[in-house]
Structure 1
Amino acid sequence: MGSLQLSPCPRRPGKENLPNVATHEAGQGGGEGPTGDVLRNELSGGQVSGGVVQARDIAHLTIGAGAPPPPPPVRVPRQVPAPPRGFVNRTEELAALDALLAGEPDAPPVAVISGIGGVGKSAFTRRWAHQVSDRFGDGQLYADLGALRHRGGTEVSDVLGGFLRALGVHEEWIPAELPERASMFRSKTAGLRLLLLIDDAEHAAEVTPLLPASRASAVVVTSHRRLGELLLSGAVPIRMAPLSADEGARLLAGMLGEDRLRADPAAAAELVRLCGGLPIALRVAGARLVQRPAWTIERVVRELTDAARRLDRLAVEGKPVVESVFEAAYDGLPPGAARLYRRLGLLPGPDFPPGAATAIDGGDDDVTDLLDVLLDANLLDELGDGDRYRFHDLVRLHAARCAEREESAEERDAALERAAEWYLGRMAAADLAVMGRRLRLADHGRRLAEGAAFGSPGEALDWLDAERANILALLRGAAARGWDAFVWQAAEAMWALYYQRKHYADWLEANRLGVAAALRCGDLAAQARMRNQVARALLELGEYGGAHEELVLARAAAEESGNRRMEAAVLESLGRVDLERGDLEAATAAFREALRVNEDIGNPRGVGLQTYHLGLAHSRGGRHDEAAAAFERAMTVMTEVGDELLQGKIGIRLGTAYRSLGRSADAVRVAGRAAEIMRARRVPAQEARAWELLAALAAESGDPGTARAHVRQAVAAWLAAGNTDRATELRAEHDL
């Protein structure tokens, strides 16, 4: 795979690790009353968010007047994809779904649309969803469980996370565990009028946590199974049968025109029969005829008559009828398009970006043109604006079968290796765009030089998110093939996504695969790296014991490897665990030891990072003088090395420490710069925290007008971050 050594894997030098951020602290104050008695004006007993005003006597308080703020943006999700063109009206089934909305149910009505693959369940439900969209004023939510399943597997918890984000819940407020996410989803949906469309469910257990808590909502589930457990719970079953002869003929007429069908109605009826009434099969056959106006329908019928080559797993009334459609379409492809088609079947998921198609093809043809050929033949669907393509699961099965039949094992492995190498290059570029300079053991120099850079950190994160299930599937396949270097290097590169977007299940699985791969190839530094990344996920999940166990093993591997940067990174993580456990003494000792290692090896960014962590420990212990001094030193170092993101984070912490020390002017200065940095880098949650700090400082200085303006800026930033709850709290607190 080019420079990527599949087995054994090389040892790589390391760099420094990532920062993390601890929580804020609240201060106390007191004074003397007019009679000489000591008055106490304290704030204690918990965390405080936003500004706090402490005063002795308040005769009259006026919050600065001004124009009322604009209302918060309305978030109405409309996630259901558009139905395909040429939909054949299924009157009875549509009427059954309409009946679902009648009456006054005690719980949200649920319908289960079942039928064999390719029968048109998704097209039917999408068509109905758009017809009744005006009945659901709070929006429509959509999840294609089949696509997620084939792309490497996504937990129901992840689907709930996506629904909560669509309803305005910010990432930071979404719980990590499934029960808590389901509970939050029920709370958010209580009283709403929502339509949920759940596509291609395998089991009732995938659906139950997704049910909203509103009688005014409705849920439609499609599945090739009947989902009896849902039916026992009161769901309405709607069986989707293949199209009738008349309906199939109408579908063909929509593609070919009435005149062409009238020329040979018997052949048209036979074509519908051979396709088993499956819309996907009829569309592929019709596409071939559209592309060749001189052909008769009888010619396609003759090609489909041989049932021996039809897909084994798809049958209608015991007779397989579909594979001949795909095979006939494949036989009619030009050589380059046929090669691309069968090699795309080797990818682990049904959708993919154009770059992956180019890599796995390995030919000299323009892949864009080849993809257009496959689109014209209805063997592919285009998603979005041409940035992704998707196979129907039956078509993908046929493509993979063609590859097994026509390509040697060596050719198939070589094609998949090219795709894996391409993915690793894009992952490395995305990691660099998001995280900048950080600890990396893998050397991606050539890959970064050959590939295009991402335009922004947000673009890079979005790409990683779109590909994460495919990448996880690649990791699984690579681990099974013994491609150990790819496994741990890919897991390392995915840190940017996992750390930012918190996909904990994927985070843990990918890095545990990385641990096993590093153990197999004997790379001690990589073992330490992978265990450290596993531990950071466990730390965020509150599993401190498991995190500590991983870090003990990681430290031993790092020390034995001689990679001192990796050793410092593990020490930092040990300090983070101790900090969260409340053992400030142990945390401080770990951060100091990590600082000494970075000083010894001449790693200035590591020095600044560990100084920052020492400041967090001092802040947690209420030692604000020491915290301010540590943050000042860290700011100086990060300015020298040019790490702007950390400068912004440090500025918020330093401003908080200055405020506790009564150094208001200094606090305003550093917090203002932090707000500018976070706005420029599009990190709205951190920007909002900076504005909240500035608002509190302005209020304390007796400038309510400026305080009110900063609160409005904080509200806008929280809304941009998707945290509508915090924005609402600020509006209520400040009467905005």
Structure 2
Amino acid sequence: MSGHAANVVQAGSIGTVTFLEAPQLPRTKPAMGPLVTEQFVNRTSERATLADLAALADPDRKRPVIVGLRGLAGVGKTTLSLWVARALAADFPDGLLYADLGPNGPSPSESMSQWLTALGVHESTMPTGFNDRAVLFRGLTADSRAILVLDDATTFAAVEPFLPTSGASLVLVLTQRVPDELRSHLTGIVQVEGLSTEHSIQLLAGICPDDRIAAESAAVAELVELCGRLPLALQIIGVHLAKRSRRTVRQVTDELRAAGGSVRAVATALDAVYAELDEPAQRLYRVLGLLSGGRFTDELIAAMTGIGPDAAITLLDWNLVSETDSGYLIHPQVRAHALLLSSTKDSDDDRAEILRRALNWWLLGATAADVALGGRRKLRIADPERLLAGQSLPSKAAARTWFEREQYGIVAAMEAAAKRQWHEPVWQLGEAMFSYFDRRRPLATWLKVMKLAAQSAKDCHDARAEARCRCLLAKAYQELERFDEAAAQLDLARELAAGDERLLASTFDFTGNLALRRKEFAVALDWFQRALEINIQLGQQRGTALMTVFVGRAQAGLGAADALATFQEAARLAREIDEPDVLIRAELGAAEVLVALGRNAEVEALLGQVAELATELKKLDVQAKVALLRADLTGDDRYREEAIAAYEAMGNTPQVARLIAG
């Protein structure tokens, strides 16, 4: 944590949530994927085959080299692919992209977002939809020489969007069974079996470097067979032997055979290691089985169990978890074993209490991050001060980073809570996540969360909460261009909001934005004007300024002459209440109207004001829009170069900048 700005939020018995801003790193080529173990042995045949296939990559090919790596879970496909990527790095200078397509990985849209971020695309210019992200990805990698690893793939439909068009790239598809529809697209298939006996012994000796491996050759040979020659099982047993120097290999072998041997190789190894853990580490291990995302931090575990960080370090020492940039990760097979132990050793009441504590911790963090991103004035049904009580908030960057890390755990916890009919925290978490969703647009996750939230609000008979959640669900449908479904949700929301004028105005706002998206400008204008009237009556100054901006947008869509005056009035209101985010929207809208009217002299003066405010607010996307407007007005390529510079400063690659330059 040293060297990065941090903010800590805490609440009573819930615990603490620390927010860290992601460090500003220099631009580098992508180098994604989990850390690989140093104990990697030979795989000479597989590596040679992969190197031969990789050599086929060529810019003149019509598609990339696509290789399927087929093998059991725990056999070492991921480690092999990442070691091969490291060995071939000089031949593929544009870096390594990695995505976990399995059930414990991010959504496809979020995985694509992570790839685009690694390729230099800034979040302010990130496409909102998965298909648009995939199109941009293919454009950015059209001429690249990169290695792409797609882990835990089960269907070709999941793989296809992640395939680049460049014939000079190498794609490694990791799967337990090659999908039939993928076979015709493959350049080759590499079967990844358990290690040979020789290499299994070599792996054990690397983890447990003492004379027992050499001295007990017969017992060692039997031991590796009992482990199925699976690297995961061998690594776990190797750590077990290294930590128990007085135990002979024969003793461990006899215990594994009695426990079931190679029929359940990984589970047998895990049983042996679990028995050696102290009580806090055993309890933590079982708790980790309940985390479907498999990722955790010391703070989350402390909130769930009260167990200190030493227990996680113990699990790390025993090779049961691995470290990540922000915490720890448990392998899916290890987690399945931990979940089985929890189901047999912990009562349902104990598991329920752990889930409830996790929900409270995530709700505290999500509430703080939501207010940091959306401000304290935003309409919310759940009052954030019930948890925050005036505490200082994290920065927007730190809030986004926290949501990025925790969103999958939150979604899994919401699903578990909904099954237990704990409806209130479900809808509250959904409401709190909207600020993040509206900025990052992980649409599949957004849709799932808001469906859960809306149903939970309905199930706990809270009409105001249901109205709010249905608006947020409608916005997700709108971004997916499922407009009829969005309209149906908003019809329900307006009915539910009757009697709460501020909430009703919000439903009018969402309805107007849907009409604006559908280019139904007259309909949008009517809804925005109704929302504006309510905000004026209630004395909601920010809402009044913002609705005035939206009225201006609808008027501009209709070509109405009074759109300019409306934007100017919105700008005046925003200045009065010191709302620069609203002000910049109003002034940019006014500038666009002036361009349409051909009032170029006035445009330049206003664009100067917008550019100054954009610089102050660090809104590079607005700076780029101002520069492009100036370029269109004057035909001066100098302004187009300014736009390119702004997009590059946001992290856009030169390819994106060239697209803007035309």
Fold shared per TM-score above 0.5: yes
Distance, in Å, in 1 between the alignment partners of 2:62 and 2:650 is 35
Q: How does 1:558-577 map to 2 (within 5 A)?
A: 558-559=497-498, 562-577=499-514
Deviations 1:356-415 (A, max 9, x none): 222222x2x42x22211110011110012xx12111111101111221122110010000
Deviation at 1:346, TM superposition (A): 0.8
Of residues 31, 38, 41 in structure 2, which corresponds to 1:78?
A: 31
- Superposition RMSD on alpha carbons, in Å? 2.9
Give the TM-score normalised by structure 2: 0.88
1:142 aligns to what SS in structure 2?
strand
Q: How does 1:28-427 map to 2 (within 5 A)?
A: 76-103=29-56, 107-146=63-102, 149-150=103-104, 154-155=107-108, 157-168=109-120, 182-308=134-260, 316=262, 319-361=263-305, 363=306, 365-366=307-308, 368-384=309-325, 387-427=326-366
Partner of 2:494: 555
Note closer, same or farther for the CA distance 1:449–1:87 as it changes in structure 2 (3 Å cut).
farther
Matched, 1:442 2:382: yes
AA of the residue aligned to 1:326:
L
- Checking the alignment, whether the CA contact within 8 Å between 1:648 and 1:675 is kept in structure 2 is no
The equivalent residue for 1:23 is: none
1:650 matched to which residue of 2? Answer: 586
Once the two structures are superposed, residues 221-253 of structure 1 have per-residue CA deviations (whole angstroms, 9 ceiling, x without a partner) of: 111223343234444221111122211111121
Are the structure 2 counterparts of residues 615 and 594 from structure 1 closer, same or farther at C-alpha, using a change threshold of 3 Å?
same
What TM-score do you get using the length of structure 1 for normalisation?
0.80
Q: How far off is 1:323 after superposition?
A: 1.5
Within-5 A mapping of 1:295-694: 295-308=247-260, 316=262, 319-361=263-305, 363=306, 365-366=307-308, 368-384=309-325, 387-436=326-375, 437-449=377-389, 453-454=393-394, 456-559=395-498, 562-623=499-560, 626-657=562-593, 667=603, 670-693=606-629
Deviation (angstroms), 1:294: 3.9
Is residue 507–residue 537 contact of structure 1 (8 Å, CA) maintained in 2?
yes
Distance 1:688 1:353, change over 3 A: farther
State how far apart, in whole Å, the 2-side matches of 1:91 and 1:98 are. Answer: 10
How far residue 197 of structure 1 moved from its aligned partner, in angstroms, is 0.9
Structure-1 residue corresponding to 2:3: none
Structure 1 counterpart of 2:18: none
* CA deviation after TM superposition for structure 1 residue 277, in Å: 1.3
**Displacement of 1:110:** 1.9
Partner amino acid, structure 2, of 1:604: Q
1:169, CA displacement in angstroms?
5.2
CA gap of 1:672–1:357, structure 2 versus 1, over 3 A, is farther
**Structure 1 pair 181–555 and aligned structure 2 pair: CA distance change class (3 A):** same
Q: Secondary structure at the match of 1:514?
A: helix
Supply the distance in 2 between the matched residues of 1:419 and 1:460 (Cα, whole angstroms): 18
2:616 and 2:125 map into 1 onto residues whose CA distance is: 24
Give the secondary-structure state (helix, strand or coil) at the position aligned to 1:84.
coil
The one-letter code matched in structure 2 to 1:683 is K
Q: CA deviation digits over 1:553-582, x for unaligned, max 9?
A: 1111101xx221110011112222222333
**Residues 406 and 551 from structure 1, CA distance in 2 versus in 1: closer, same or farther, beyond 3 angstroms?**
same
Contact 2:145 2:168 in 1 (8 A): yes
Identity %: 35
Counterpart AA for 1:444: P
1:481 to 1:450, Cα distance in 2 relative to 1, 3 A: farther
User: Deviation string for 1:580-628 (max 9, x for gaps)?
Assistant: 333333222211111111122221111111111112122223335x333
Q: Call closer, same or farther: CA 1:677–1:382 in 2, change over 3 Å.
A: farther
Q: Deviations over 1:23-47 (max 9, x none)?
A: xxxxxxxxxxxxxxxxxxxxxxxxx
Q: How many aligned residue pairs are there? A: 635
Give the Cα–Cα distance (whole angstroms) in 1 for the partners of residues 585 and 615 of structure 2: 12
- CA shift, 1:659, in A, is 5.4
1:240 alignment partner AA = V
Q: Look up the match of 2:649.
A: 720
Task: Give 3-state SS (helix, strand or coil) of 2:211's partner.
Answer: helix
- Matched residue SS, 2:172: strand
Tell me, in whole angstroms, the C-alpha distance in 2 between the residues paired with 1:83 and 1:609.
Answer: 50
> What is the alpha-carbon distance in structure 2 between the residues aligned to residue 730 and residue 393 of structure 1?
43
Deviations 1:508-553 (A, max 9, x none): 2211222211211111111111111122222233333322222111
